Structure 1
């Protein structure tokens, strides 16, 4: 197998970001173009023979693009310098050998982007598997559905008939909402109501983004972190409400 077998069209190769192209290079290295996949020469990989099946005017830009992708593999610890050899010799690391296909690599790339340590635990358990599969729309929907579920749990007196934006408006009503803090200025209470109602109306409703499928991992992570922040607010307000009830 050669790189040109994986990507027959050089223009497609040149259109890929280094992080995307790195998945193809990883598959190529794991397939074993050399007789010993544990011994890979970076300099040899950079030579024209790697791209010689492409038109000659594409050789140089494709060589440069492939070396950009190689630096990604080094950065992620998927290839490393071979011990006791000069700087051109590399081996595929244990982590790299676990990524046999581009799908394996993409799953790894998505996992490395997910901020496990900073998102709400409930969001992590519900959304992380979806995010790994690249199901971004469902990831966002589920994250904000969790916000709605937690708000309802924190406001048992509102009953089970309120959903979505209506639930947020009742729960965070500036005057009598169970999750509204009357010690705050009215403007801040109204802003919090607008924040929750707007978030649920925008992100939990699939129709709000169905016309533009979400394919951007970074955009998805921003939405997930926003939902996580809202969940923490609900947790804090629920704790405050419990303390007020106990002290009454």
Structure 2
């Protein structure tokens, strides 16, 4: 991959990149080769591309030979990460068996490196760690890049869980949103309040639930919220995930 030293001229900078970060560069260099007609049927051989770096084509090597092992290992890790994510797949037939790869449909769908970066971040959302009520719909919406939808579904699930937990309590029939949260976790008489905790902690929990719904669920309900940051969306989803577990714990304590 003779284009790599032009894309990343600093060796130390290259070695500091995580596999997914270096992988983004490699994917788009491969796409550029395909667009320029350099690749045969869009197939490429990752190991051959690594070897290109150390082949002298009439000029001096652009990376220092003494760093060859380090650079090769970084590239091997990047290619391995890319393949593990299903972004490159074996070419059909004997070519694939001989190490040739092609870009997957997902990889070809990336418009730019920012799309890839968002995808790499999205992969960090731990699906198996999510509460059962949001494990499927929220995770799928997030992976599609519908971050505002994922946040709304996650916070809506918190509201639904609280509503179900207090459905037998009188006076809760018409409550919803922040009013529901404040009443359900009221530090003095809320049915979901933990009366073994200090008053300040009970108050804080009431505010945590109402603040989450007021800040993240209600705005999504009332207007279009263009949430484009996958990290922010992930943080809100994990906050909602924690609140769902709190509700489950409190409900179990009440039942017992």
Normalising to structure 2: TM-score of the pair?
0.64
User: 1:140: Cα distance to partner?
Assistant: 0.8
1:24 and 2:31 are equivalent in the alignment: no
The answer to whether the 8 Å contact 2:134/2:157 transfers is yes
Q: Say which SS state the counterpart of residue 174 (structure 2) adopts.
A: coil
1:174 and 2:179 are equivalent in the alignment: no
Equivalent of 1:101 in 105, 108, 115: 108
1:35 and 2:40 are equivalent in the alignment: yes
Give me the whole-angstrom Cα distance separating, in 2, the residues matched to 1:148 and 1:69. Answer: 46
Equivalent of 1:120 in 131, 146, 159: 131
Gaps of 5+ in 1: 4-16, 48-58, 61-66, 81-88, 244-248
Aligned to 2:206: 193
Aligned to 1:133: 144
User: 1:43: Cα distance to partner?
Assistant: 4.1
Structure 1 residues 22, 232: CA separation in 2 closer, same or farther (over 3 Å shift)? Answer: farther
Normalising to structure 1: TM-score of the pair?
0.66
User: 1:74: Cα distance to partner?
Assistant: 3.5
Aligned to 1:92: 101
Give me the whole-angstrom Cα distance separating, in 2, the residues matched to 1:215 and 1:205. Answer: 18
Aligned to 1:230: 243
1:162 and 2:169 are equivalent in the alignment: no
User: 1:108: Cα distance to partner?
Assistant: 6.0
Equivalent of 2:154 in 140, 143, 153: 143
Give me the whole-angstrom Cα distance separating, in 2, the residues matched to 1:219 and 1:126. Answer: 18
User: 1:20: Cα distance to partner?
Assistant: 4.8
User: 1:237: Cα distance to partner?
Assistant: 0.4
The answer to whether the 8 Å contact 2:185/2:192 transfers is yes
Aligned to 1:152: 163
Q: Say which SS state the counterpart of residue 188 (structure 1) adopts.
A: helix
Give me the whole-angstrom Cα distance separating, in 1, the residues matched to 2:27 and 2:223. Answer: 29
Structure 1 residues 216, 134: CA separation in 2 closer, same or farther (over 3 Å shift)? Answer: same
Give me the whole-angstrom Cα distance separating, in 2, the residues matched to 1:120 and 1:206. Answer: 23
Give me the whole-angstrom Cα distance separating, in 2, the residues matched to 1:210 and 1:129. Answer: 22
Structure 1 residues 28, 45: CA separation in 2 closer, same or farther (over 3 Å shift)? Answer: farther
Deviates more, 1:34-43 or 1:158-167: 34-43
The answer to whether the 8 Å contact 1:214/1:220 transfers is yes
Deviates more, 1:205-214 or 1:149-158: 205-214
Aligned to 1:206: 219
Q: Say which SS state the counterpart of residue 101 (structure 1) adopts.
A: helix
User: 1:160: Cα distance to partner?
Assistant: 3.0
Q: Say which SS state the counterpart of residue 228 (structure 2) adopts.
A: coil
Give me the whole-angstrom Cα distance separating, in 1, the residues matched to 2:221 and 2:215. Answer: 6
The answer to whether the 8 Å contact 1:24/1:102 transfers is no
Gaps of 5+ in 2: 4-20, 55-61, 64-71, 90-97
Aligned to 2:11: none
Structure 1 residues 18, 185: CA separation in 2 closer, same or farther (over 3 Å shift)? Answer: same
Size of the aligned set, in residue pairs, is: 201
